[in-house]
Chain A
Amino acid sequence: MSTSVTRRSAVQALAAGAATLAVPALAQAAPVRVGYAIARTGTWTGGAQVSQEPNYLLWAEQQNQAGGLSVKGTKRPIELISYDDRSEVETCVRTYEKLMGSDKVDLVLPPWGSNANFAVAPLANRFGYPFLAPTALSKRLIEMKLPYFFLLLQQPAPMTTALVEMLKANGAKSAALIYVDDLFGLENYAALKVALQGSGISLVEDKSYPPGVKDLSPVLRSMKDKNPDAFIGFTYPPDTILASKQAKEVGFNPKFFYASVGTAFQLYKNVMTPAGAEGVLGMGSWNAKTSAGAKAYFDAHTKKFGGKEPDRWASGHCWAGLEILTAAVAKHGLDRKAIRDYVANTTHETIIGKIRFDGSENVATPGTVSQWQNGEFEVVWPKTVATAALNPAKPAWK
C-alpha cells in the first residue's frame, strides 16, 4: 500500500492534471464550476479520501477527457473548486457559504459524513443547490424534509431489516451486539431492535462504547462465554478493525460476524489479510460484478489511483450520484431547480441499479449485506442483487 505522502501528492498531481485538462477546452466554452469542501485532514479524512474525493476527481477527469460535461448538448469542461474542511463542521459551513453565496459556483458536491451534511443541508435549501449525499445516514435528516437534499445511502431501517432477514433465513437464534455511542450507532441500534421483534432471534448482549475506544477484549470475552450465533457491530472503521483483531485474539468465532462500516474498505482486507477477512459480513451494496458499468468504474478508479480500490458501499453510491448529476445536467443544463426536480421525480439507472427518491430518501436500493469471500466483498443478501451466495458458517479467524 503506498504511503499517504505519495498518495497525497498523486492526488494533488491528478487534481492539477484535471485542472490543466480543462485549459485546452477553455478555448471552446466557459467551464462548469463545481465546488465542494472535503476532509483532507482531521478525523474524517480516512472515510472521505476513500469513499468520496477520489470519485469527484475521477469524474471530472473522465468527463473532461470526453470533451467536457454535456450541458444540454454543449460540452463544457469541469473546473473543480475544492477546499479542505479540516473535519470541522464550522469550516464546512463557511466554505459552502462561500461557494454558494459569494463564488456562486454552478454546482456543488457534498462533504463527507452525517455531521457535515446536517450542517450544510439547510444551506443547500437556502441557496437552492441540489445535494446528492453519499455518506450521510440518518432518519432525522430525512425527517427534515429538505427538498434540495438527497441521501443516496440506504438508511438504518432497510439495512438492519436485511441483516435480520438474512440471519433468520440461515437459522441464527441468538446475537450479541456492540454499537458506537453516536447517531450512527444509536439509530442502527434502534432500527435493529425493531427488526428483531418477532424474528425469533434473541439479543444476548448489547453494549455501547465510546468512539475511539482502545480495547474491546473484555466485552468480546464475555460474549464468547455466552456463545451467540451472530456477532453484530455497529462500528466505525477503526473499531471494526479493533473488534476483528481482538475477536481473533480471544478466540471468539461466532457463525456470523458482522461489522458495519469499514468492512467494505480495501483497508480491511489489507490489515486482516484476505484469509483473515474470509467470511466477515458487513454493509456493502455493490462490487465490480454488479453491472458492466460498475466494473468499468472499478477498473478506472483502481487504474487512476495506483491500485487503490473504491470501497464496496459508499463509493458506489457516490459514483451513482455523479451519474445522476451528469444525466440531469445533460438534460436540463445548469438550471438548478430543474435539476432538482429531475432528481426527485425520475427513476435513475446507475451502476448500482435503480435509484429513486421518495422525499430525501433513496427507496429503490434495498438494504443489503455483503461478505468477504476469497479476497472480494460479495453482496450476499438479498438474492435479487447478490453477486455470490452466502457462506453461512464463517471459518475460524486466521
Chain B
Amino acid sequence: MSAGAWLELIASGLITGGIYALVALGLNLQYGLMRILNIAHGEFLMVGAYLTWMAQTSFGLHPLAMVPVSFALLMALGLVVHRLCFKRLAATSPDLDVFEARGLMVAFGLMFLVQNAVSWIWGGDLRGYDFATAPVHIGNAQFAGNKLIVFALALLFALALIVLLRQTLYGKGVRALMQSPVGAQLVGIDTERLHPLMFGLGLGLSGVAGCLLSMAYTISPAMGEPYTVTALIVITLGGFGSMSGALAGGLLLGVIEALGMHFSNPSLKALLSYSVFIAVLLLRPKGLFAK
C-alpha cells in the first residue's frame, strides 16, 4: 500500500478515535469522580443526536449551532437525573460497593427507559441528514469534511475539559474529590454542589458527542449501546478517572481498529476490541498508562 494510503488509514483511525475519546470523557468523569458507572451514557448520546437531527430537519437549524444547545439541554437533564436517582442512592447506601452496584442497576434501568422513550417518540427507522459531506483533500489523502469538523471539535472539547480540570478551582476540587472524598470534604469542598454539576457535565459532553456524530453517521434508537461499550473499553484502557488517559486511549483504540480492519476484516475487529478490553481489565486493571 502506498504511503498516502497508510497516512489516510492512520488518520482515519485517529478521527474515529477522537470521537471515541469524547464519548469516553463524560463517562470517565462520572465514574472516576462519583463511581457511577453510567451504562446509559450511550443513550444520552443518542438523545443529543436525535435533538440535533430534529432541529436540522424540522427547524432548519445548523448542526453546529446545536452543539452548545445539546450541551445545555443534556446538562440540565443530567442535573435532573442526578437529583432524582443518584442523590437518594448516595444517601441510603451503606458503603461504596453497594452504591456502585445500585448505581449500575439504576443506570441499567435508565438505559431501557431512554432508549425506548426515543424509539416510541421518533420511531425505529434510520434517520440522517447531509452535512459537509464534500471531501476535503489534504496532501495525497482525502477525508470527508464533516469527519474533520467532528474530529477538530472532539479534540477541542477534550482538551478544554482537561484544562478545566487542571487549572480552574472547580477542576482542582473535582480532582481532589477523585483522589480522596473524605479529605476533600474536610478541606471544605462542596460535594453536594460538585456531584450534580459533574454528572450534568458528563451528560452534556455525551450530548455534544451525539450532536457531532449525527453530522457524519445515520442515527437510530439502538445506536447508543455500541458507543457505551466503546467508551467502557476506552476508559479501561486509559485508566478510570484519568482524562488524558481517556483521550490517549480513545485515539489509540481508533488506530488499532483501523489497522485491525485493514489487516484482517471488520468481523475480527469486534473480536479484537473485546479481547483487548478483557485483557486490560484482567491484566492491567489500572489502565495501560498507570504508573
Contact = CB atoms under 8 A, between A and B. Distances in A.
Direct contact between A and B judged by beta carbons closer than 8 A:
yes
Contacts of A221: 5, 8-9, 12, 262
A363 interface: no
B126 A218 contact: no
B144 to A, nearest CB: 4
A208 B124 contact: no
Chain A interface residue bracket vs B: 35 or more
Contact of A218 (B123, B130, B261): B261
Contacts of A3: 122-123
A210 interface: yes
A267 B126 contact: yes
Contact of B258 (A46, A208, A218, A249): A218
Contact of A209 (B2, B12, B123, B267): B267
A326 B126 CA distance: 34
Chief secondary structure at chain A's binding surface: helix
A238 B220 CA distance: 10
A224 B262 CA distance: 12
A307 interface: no
A248 B135 contact: yes
A217 B12 contact: yes
Nearest to A225: B5
Contacts of B157: none
B283 interface: no
A310 B60 CA distance: 28
Contacts of B144: 246, 248-249
Interface string B139-161: 00011100100000000000000
B222 to A, nearest CB: 7
A45 B125 contact: yes
Interface string A218-258: 11011011000000000001100110011011110000000
A5 interface: yes
B8 to A, nearest CB: 6
B61 to A, nearest CB: 16
Nearest to B144: A249
B179 interface: no
A273 interface: yes
A213 interface: yes
B270 interface: yes
Contact of A222 (B121, B220, B262): B262
Given A214-B226, A238-B218, A271-B128, A219 B123 contact: no
18 contacts: A41-B119, A45-B123, A46-B124, A181-B267, A207-B265, A210-B266, A215-B261, A218-B12, A218-B258, A221-B12, A225-B1, A237-B126, A241-B126, A241-B218, A245-B133, A250-B135, A271-B128, A271-B130
Given A222-B262, A241-B128, 6 more contacts: A210-B266, A215-B261, A218-B13, A218-B259, A238-B220, A273-B130
Interface of A: 3-5, 7-8, 41-43, 45-46, 49, 178, 181, 207-210, 212-219, 221-222, 224-225, 237-238, 241-242, 245-246, 248-251, 267, 271, 273
